[in-house]
Chain A
């Protein structure tokens, strides 16, 4: 990145150089950049774990890794992707974009901002170092159900616990920063109901984070005391309850799902109007729908645990509440379609990603409705059908949303245009492989293949081989992605301030690249 920055001395940007610039930076753009690179590094590591999984599942029989190591791979893949790749990516986008979208000079709490990023490399060093410990890395799945993770967990579980604590602290500080910035630093005239949708969705995400991260911290702390200090929170022999762990975990875990997807909703709501050359349809209902989804996400957690043996009334309540989420989610999808309706649409790469996001996320939403139906869920639960479902909402959902954002704002960040041709090639290859990987998982799951198994009956062989081939291809397309991004950073073709003809919003009033210090005097919004 330094090559880019050096070219712009004309902005009189005072900043340290070299390593200290990144270590001590309090600049929201630098911190956003750090988050995004960190996220990509974790995406690669988590992806390598996924390659190990798909390699072992390529055909029946154990060929490459032992079941014990396989379980470590599924666990770390989940943890690294959720906490290392998806969440930091959206925090990076928030850091870069929220101040320049609301006309603020920086985030409200810049030193805390620095700290909330720099905790993350330590958190993931703790977590990933467990791979090299005696007894291996955590092997109990990213959901770390007790008692497999407590009394039965490997010694490295304690490193996992402290790693999760650090990630939680980082997320909470990041969200406090977003909330304080949005409430206090909007440009004069920018009322809440004039804020860009990305800012709205992130504001709501930040509240979700503040609500549930402490709950996760509580869960891992109880694990720690169960493991070492003689408590029995999750052990029936001491008066505890292993199911209580699941209630606490999913009280965090379900809002967490929306923490990962709401920013992507915001991104789609920025991009689709730009390339449809038409204002976002139903802005107010978008805001209310996002808030409704966030509120409902607190009362649906037990749909992850229909098979634990809840009372009938509990099963009914969680089924109804979960089905209800389909209503505001539907509203959002209809609004996006209505935004396109009678627009003047062009299909640059960010738009392609946003459209793929809407379609494939909706497919993930359909399987979500199916999973919400308790009696049918008994068959789907803990099979590859669930794996297909959440990968559809996370990969072509959250990750495509992030990629759409990267292509959309990259010219603003770097001042250069990216190579549209290669970006489109990457898009089409990725769309092919993402479906080749995850769509067959619906079938293997319905046919009866449980998740988290290193080996399977011959009946599941074909679908697994297809998924594995898709996964290998999907990994390769990421090489094109990073090549396009680096090509853009080093690019020669300058972007204008406006970049996209139809784009609206304060960020496009700044030159490209956005100067190191922007909106030092607030703009006026009418």
Chain B
């Protein structure tokens, strides 16, 4: 094993030399993460065990092969042997791989049983995948929020050839982090609203598919406070690569404080929403609020210039929705369209935001219907919905 250990220490150095041109100060990640939980450590150990067993088998088999290529080449061995079978050898090399597999299977079973045991959890978080964001709901604390990609589009898109991304957390940053207490067993209930997604944090060795209409369970217990990043791991459409996951693990006091701050935030948001909903907005306010909200929630599909990607993501200009009756427009934004990526935004956004977006969509890009939609209109629609 000392030999393997040498390789293990030499390999990163070699690789680092190889790639030092562009890596800079960052350490190059080329192997699985050991992670920060007992389970992830177990997974890592098993991964290394099976890797070294494969390397060992490879050395023996390829070694024999290269030896034959060298020693039994025609110039050295002009007269080939005639044998074509040997029962004993064949039985032996059927039995040995079988035994190796048994050796691998035992720790795998033990680890798998531990991974699937979600009992006795202390905190439960329901995770819902949407195209293309995550929604988190703390069932015991009654807190919920959406978590969107925080990397701006301008940082991502370089079609004109200018600049390149430089943020170390590029594509792995969100607006609202999941916050979890350290040292407690957390149960995740994972589902989806539209298509399949998968929730994955490499440092926890947790990856579970989010399936619309079904709820999957997973769990973790993190012993080290810190910020852990992951991504959606099941193709879910256009922006599959742009729905990261960020988990912040904090001490129990900080977790309680965070819960309290979320309560305050929610109360404040409700107060602001009520205030916004009761007031009548000017067209300028609606348009400027609408532009901002549209670019955040709608532009990923319908594009900043409203052209969309028809027919999957329809354009706004000349659309019967934006130029037709206001009622139908409110309905599709609030209720979504079943079987498409158009989500029901009624529960995701405030009435003021919805009103601003709809007003913006009916007056931007030269559409100019002149219609103003007020938060009260949205509330009235929802009441009759």
With contacts A147-B212, A355-B69, A358-B65 taken as known, whether A455 is within 8 angstroms of B156 at the C-beta atoms is: yes
Please provide the chain B residues from 75 to 126 with a CB less than 8 Å away from any CB of chain A in the complex: 77-86, 89-90, 93-94, 97-98, 101, 104-105, 108-109, 111-113, 115-116
Q: Which residues of A contact B157 (CB under 8 A)?
A: 61-62
Q: Chain A residues with Cβ under 8 A from B93's Cβ?
A: 330-331, 334
Residues of B within 8 A of A64 (CB): 159
Smallest beta-carbon distance B11→chain A, Å: 11
Q: Which residues of B contact A447 (CB under 8 A)?
A: 29-33
Is B238 a contact partner of A71 (Cβ separation < 8 A)? yes
Q: B209 contacts A309, CB within 8 Å?
A: yes
Asked whether B202 lies within 8 Å of A139 as measured between CB atoms, the reply is no
Docked complex Cα distance between A454 and B208 (Å): 22
Is B14 engaged at the interface, CB distance under 8 Å to the other chain?
no
A interface residues, tally (CB under 8 Å):
100
A359 is an interface residue with CB less than 8 A from chain B: yes
Does any Cβ of A come within 8 Å of B271's Cβ? no
Q: A366 and B54: CB pair below 8 A?
A: yes
- Among B227-235, B262-270, B279-287, B376-384, the stretch that binds chain A is B227-235
B213 CB contacts on chain A under 8 angstroms:
235-237, 241-242
Residues 242-281 of A, flagged 1 when their CB comes within 8 A of B and 0 if not, give 1100000000000000000000000000000000111111
Report the stretch among B43-51, B290-298, B322-330, B354-362 that lies at the interface.
B43-51
List of A residues within 8 angstroms of B364 by Cβ:
none
For A345, list chain B residues within 8 Å (CB): 68-69, 72-74, 77
Q: Give B111's nearest chain A residue, CB to CB.
A: A375
CB distance from B41 to the nearest CB of A (A): 12
Q: Is B311 an interface residue (CB 8 A)?
A: yes
* Nearest A-chain residue to B115, judged by Cβ: A375
A141 to B206, CA, bound (A): 23
Answer yes or no: B139 CB below 8 A from chain A CBs: no
Q: Report yes or no: A141 in contact with B235, Cβ–Cβ below 8 A.
A: yes
Q: How far is the CA of A68 from the CA of B309 in the complex (A)?
A: 9
Q: Do B104 and A323 touch across chains, with their CB atoms under 8 A apart? A: yes
Please determine whether B68 and A373 come into contact, CB atoms closer than 8 angstroms.
Answer: no
For A453, list chain B residues within 8 Å (CB): 231, 240-241
A285-B85, A370-B47, A459-B29 provided; 10 other pairs, C-beta below 8 A? A62-B156, A63-B161, A151-B339, A316-B112, A323-B101, A340-B69, A341-B81, A343-B77, A446-B32, A447-B33
Q: List 17 A-B contacts (CB under 8 A).
A: A237-B213, A308-B209, A308-B211, A309-B214, A309-B216, A319-B112, A320-B105, A334-B61, A343-B80, A347-B69, A362-B61, A373-B50, A379-B32, A379-B43, A450-B231, A453-B241, A458-B167
Q: Which residues of A contact B (CB under 8 A)?
A: 59-64, 66-68, 71, 134-136, 139-141, 145, 147-148, 151-152, 154-155, 235-237, 241-243, 276-285, 307-309, 312, 315-316, 319-320, 323-324, 326-327, 330-331, 333-334, 337-338, 340-347, 355, 358-359, 362-363, 366-367, 369-370, 373-376, 378-379, 381-383, 443, 446-448, 450, 452-459, 461-463, 465
Across chains A and B, which 10 residue pairs bring their CB atoms closest together, nearest first? A236-B213, A453-B241, A151-B339, A309-B216, A342-B81, A366-B54, A447-B29, A344-B80, A443-B30, A340-B68
